[in-house]
Chains A and B, each alone.
Chain A
Amino acid sequence: MSLWEYANPVKFIATTDRVLPALAWAAAGCLAAGLIWGFFFTPDDFRQGSTVKIIYLHVPSALMAINGWLMMLVASLIWIVRRHHVSALAARAAAPVGATMTVIALATGAIWGQPMWGTYWAWDPRLTSFLILFLFYLGYMALWAAIENDDTAADLTSILCLVGSVFALLSRYAVNFWNQGLHQGASLSLDKEENVADVFWYPLLVSIAGFVLLFIALVFLRTQTEIRARRMRALLARERMA
């Protein structure tokens, strides 16, 4: 029993088929619980009023936007090193989900920024690096879409993902240098003295768990779709040959 068994597409589909319903229900449950708890059963912040509740969408989606790219990076590395097709397809499947998370984070951030900072958008380091991350997602997806040969596309996009990760990190620190921010610093770290209050923290944790489960479920589902689409193309090609 090892993790690499799941490099076999049949095994992957069989296993994910079994866990997918549970994952999807768990995601729905956590999201519903976290969001309802957060929206209706937490007190208003004394300065921000009820706008503080955007945090239950903003923080988890931002978290998943970054971790989505990280997951693509790991999957790309596995593809480059061990050449498992499922890995490359999983990276491809994760990209649109991650890009959507980035858009959600940017949009909720803008809606939150308007009452708090008096502006929808500022060239703050965090905002700017998220916009750049979004551009990276776009480029990655466009490259996948543009190349016809599957293996070539997998190779090229995984190298783009590697190089892009380095440059995304560079941009992250470069924009820090370039402009001072409006965005608050980290207030959810596990190792800090002063964090967000517990009343907001627990529903946020549930909501984050919901987003993580949702992301995993969507990536599993989309990877299955990619595998099946490729299998279908192979069958069609075989028909045409015969």
Chain B
Amino acid sequence: MIALLTRDLRLAIRAGGGFGLGLAFFLIVVVLVPFGVGPETTLLARIAPGILWVGALLACLLSLDRIFALDWEDGSLDLLATAPLPMEGIVTVKAAAHWITTGLPLVLAAPALGLLLSLPGPGYLWLFLSLLIGTPALSVIGTFGAALTVGLKRGGLLLSLLVLPLYVPTLIFGAEVARRGADGLAVETPLLMLAGLSFGAVALLPFASAAVLRINLR
């Protein structure tokens, strides 16, 4: 499993892996918003947590089809499937690699981008925490979507259509934590809900993704 993880990470970081693409997309979304809504800092401060969460989510979505597509094309997915490692393990490692290459950079960059949107002072910690807890769920759910659409020619748009409704609960609780944190309110309830959702998804969804991938490799 560790070998697979390091292989995936190395592939992502080296040439053509698309590493940093999500990050650049996130930056552009955040830069575009003030052009759209105007530069008033009070307005920006109010919508900053939501924009950052939606931006992170879209950036995550953008990189989902890369999880399995390359391995599917060159046949290494078939090799992995016949390896002694169970399919659930493969799927989990793939999701973890996606999170490390896409989710984690987004989490780390979000506070810096919060500065651009004049996020209020107490918001930084909660934004960081909510993204840190929430992005693994995004990666795992996205892996399920990517497994569903792996064999399709133009699966990208379908992938978004399938995955976006699944992202709704995570987005609601995550953005709620960030918003309440920025307003200085109590964040405990949504934070616990977000954590429950995230851990639940990480624990259960790999089984669904593995089942789906097995069907697709049949």
Q: CB distance B208 to A171 under 8 Å?
A: no
Q: How far is the CA of A146 from the CA of B168 in the complex (A)?
A: 23
Q: CB distance A142 to B161 under 8 Å?
A: yes
Across the interface, which residues of B come within 8 angstroms of A107, CB to CB? none
Binary flags per residue of B165-190, CB closer than 8 Å to A gives 1, else 0: 11011001100100000000000011
The interface stretch among B60-68, B99-107, B210-218 is B210-218
Known contacts A146-B152, A152-B215, A170-B197; A163 and B208 CB within 8 A of each other:
yes
- Additional 11 contacts, C-beta under 8 A, given A142-B158, A147-B152, A160-B162: A136-B165, A139-B165, A142-B162, A143-B148, A146-B155, A152-B216, A159-B212, A167-B165, A174-B169, A174-B173, A177-B176
Across the interface, which residues of A come within 8 angstroms of B152, CB to CB? 146-147
- CB-contacts of B145-167 with A (<8 A): 148-149, 151-152, 155, 158, 161-162, 164-166
Q: CB distance B158 to A174 under 8 Å?
A: no
Main secondary structure of the interface of A (DSSP, over half): helix
Count of A-B residue pairs with CB < 8 Å:
73
Output the nearest chain B residue to A134 by Cβ-Cβ distance: B165
Which of A139, A156, A162 has the largest number of chain B CB atoms within 10 A?
A139
Known contacts A147-B152, A156-B148, A159-B211; A174 and B168 CB within 8 A of each other:
yes
- CB-contacts of A158-198 with B (<8 A): 159-160, 162-164, 167-168, 170-171, 174-175, 177-178
Q: CB distance B164 to A135 under 8 Å?
A: yes
Q: CB distance B161 to A171 under 8 Å?
A: no
Q: How far is the CA of A174 from the CA of B151 in the complex (A)?
A: 32
Which residues of A are interface residues toward B (Cβ below 8 A)? 132, 135-136, 138-139, 142-143, 146-147, 152, 155-156, 159-160, 162-164, 167-168, 170-171, 174-175, 177-178
Across the interface, which residues of B come within 8 angstroms of A162, CB to CB? 208
| Size category, B interface | 20 to 34
- CB of B5 closer than 8 Å to a CB of A: no
Q: How far is the CA of A132 from the CA of B166 in the complex (A)?
A: 9
Partner of A132, one of B168, B197, B208: B168
Q: How far is the CA of A138 from the CA of B208 in the complex (A)?
A: 20
Q: How far is the CA of A156 from the CA of B170 in the complex (A)?
A: 23
Which residues of B are interface residues toward A (Cβ below 8 A)? 144, 148-149, 151-152, 155, 158, 161-162, 164-166, 168-169, 172-173, 176, 189-190, 193, 197, 205, 208, 211-212, 215-216, 218
Q: Ordered nearest first, which 6 A-B pairs have the shortest CB separation?
A: A174-B169, A135-B165, A170-B169, A174-B172, A139-B162, A155-B215
Q: CB distance B158 to A132 under 8 Å?
A: no
Across the interface, which residues of B come within 8 angstroms of A135, CB to CB? 161, 164-165
| Residue contacts A-B, CB under 8 angstroms, 25 given | A136-B165, A139-B158, A139-B161, A139-B162, A139-B165, A142-B158, A142-B162, A143-B148, A147-B151, A152-B216, A156-B216, A159-B208, A159-B211, A159-B212, A160-B148, A162-B208, A167-B168, A170-B169, A171-B165, A174-B173, A175-B168, A175-B172, A177-B172, A177-B173, A177-B189
Which of B152, B169, B211 has the largest number of chain A CB atoms within 10 A?
B169
Which of A132, A138, A156 has the largest number of chain B CB atoms within 10 A?
A156
Across the interface, which residues of A come within 8 angstroms of B205, CB to CB? 163
Across the interface, which residues of B come within 8 angstroms of A147, CB to CB? 151-152
Across the interface, which residues of A come within 8 angstroms of B208, CB to CB? 159, 162-163
Q: CB distance A163 to B144 under 8 Å?
A: yes
Q: How far is the CA of A156 from the CA of B197 in the complex (A)?
A: 23
Q: CB distance B190 to A177 under 8 Å?
A: yes
Across the interface, which residues of B come within 8 angstroms of A136, CB to CB? 165
Q: How far is the CA of A159 from the CA of B212 in the complex (A)?
A: 7
Partner of A167, one of B151, B169, B215: B169
Smallest CB–CB gap between A162 and chain B, Å? 7
Across the interface, which residues of A come within 8 angstroms of B165, CB to CB? 132, 135-136, 139, 164, 167-168, 171
